[in-house]
Amino acid sequence: MNDILQAKFMREMCDTAANMYRLGWDERNGGNISVLLDPNEVADCLDTDRVLRRIPMNFHAAPLAGKIFLVTGTGKYFKNVRNDPETNLGIIRVSDDGSTAELLWGYADGGRFTSELPAHLMSHMVRLRIDPEHRIVMHTHPTNTLAMTHIHPLDEKSFTRTLWGTCTECIVVFPDGVGVLPWMVCGTNEIGEATARKMETYRLVIWPQHGIYGVGRSMDEAFGLIETVEKAAELYMKYAAFPVLNRITDAQLDDLAHAFGLTYRTDFLDL
Ligand code: 2HA
Ligand code: ZN
């Protein structure tokens, strides 16, 4: 058996949580990450026949039956993940009927998975239908993105257009734009279902005055999407109060999309 703490997926989770904390996005227990694991990589470092605990999920995730996830723990701080992964993280397998999480490793102090598990697993279900190589769901509280939801209209067209307009790389990184939910109570099946519905067309979903979700095939992809939105929101927060003299026009964004061969939300521009 290999040492699970040295597994690539574990190191990547620890490094990512530490990095996000360092960026100031994950105060206290803010934020959560789930990673769909390769069963062979898990079997290299864990006896997958040994279930430590069975934890009810209070929603059904039957399409994910048998799938194994590395998930941050509820009430746990990103700041502490790297120093104590076995307490702050868990590896769960979705039971055959999709209603229970079978704990294979972690949550060593008797803890359990993030309160946002419904949004994570429902988003995994939707994204796996769209992209069989999908792996990561990431939720965090990036400062400027949250600030922007206080002062900018929340319709997806204008929010995306503003982000695209802040700097040239944005439309290249997220040509599919950003989904925006109305403010909702977090941690519920309802916000999970609403988030997953947005994930049918977006890889980024904003929860106003709360945070953001990003998804991807890799940690770098999910993180890179969120990082780019946060950079755009930071720029916006720096210039929003000033008279704007120069901006990227809709025609220029369209030129950029053509130059990069992008399929993008043309309905978010007025061409
Ligand atoms: O896990 O971020 O949305 C703490 C949160 C809840
Ligand atoms: Zn949150």
DSSP 51-79: --EEEE-SS--GGGTT-EEEEEBTT--HH
Instruction: Identify the CATH class of 123-271.
Output: alpha beta
Instruction: Work out which ligand 1 atom sits closest to the CA atom of 31.
Output: 2
**For residue 23, what pLDDT is reported?**
98
Residue 138, SS3 per DSSP: strand
Task: Please give the helix or strand (H or E) that residue 40 lies within, else none.
Answer: helix 39-43
Annotated active-site positions, please? 116
Cα–Cα distance between 149 and 144 in angstroms, integer?
9
Q: Where are the domains of the chain?
A: 1-115, 123-271
pLDDT along the chain (271 residues), means of 10: 97 98 98 98 98 96 98 98 98 98 98 98 98 98 99 98 98 98 98 98 98 98 99 98 98 98 98 95
Question: How would you list the strands of the sheet with 68-72, edge to edge?
Answer: 53-56, 100-106, 89-94, 68-72, 32-36, 136-140, 211-216, 204-207, 179-180
Question: What is the DSSP code (8-state) at residue 218?
Answer: S
- Is residue 9 within 8 A of residue 2, CB to CB? The reply is no
* C-alpha 102, offset from chain centre: 22
Amino acid at 198: K
**For residue 137, what pLDDT is reported?**
99
Cα–Cα distance between 198 and 214 in angstroms, integer?
11
In angstroms, what is the span from residue 184 Cα to ligand 2's centroid?
12
Task: Please tell me if the domain spanning 1-115 has the same topology as the one spanning 123-271.
Answer: yes
In angstroms, what is the span from residue 220 Cα to ligand 2's centroid?
20
Structure tokens at 20: 């996000």
What ligand is nearest to the CA atom of residue 33? 1
| Dihedral pair phi/psi, residue 164, rounded to 5° | -55, -35
Cα–Cα distance between 40 and 125 in angstroms, integer?
21
Cα–Cα distance between 270 and 254 in angstroms, integer?
10
* Protein residues with CB under 6 Å of any ligand 1 atom: 29-32, 114-116, 139, 186
**For residue 247, what pLDDT is reported?**
96
Residue 195 region by backbone torsions, left for phi larger than 0, else alpha for psi between -120 and 50, else beta? alpha
Which candidate, 184, 163, 188, places its Cα nearest to that of 175?
163
Cα–Cα distance between 3 and 57 in angstroms, integer?
29
Instruction: Work out which ligand 1 atom sits closest to the CA atom of 32.
Output: 1
What ligand is nearest to the CA atom of residue 191? 1
Structure tokens at 42: 């898990």
**For residue 64, what pLDDT is reported?**
98
**For residue 220, what pLDDT is reported?**
98
**For residue 216, what pLDDT is reported?**
98
In angstroms, what is the span from residue 69 Cα to ligand 1's centroid?
18
Q: Say which CATH topology domain 1-115 has.
A: L-fuculose-1-phosphate Aldolase (3.40.225)
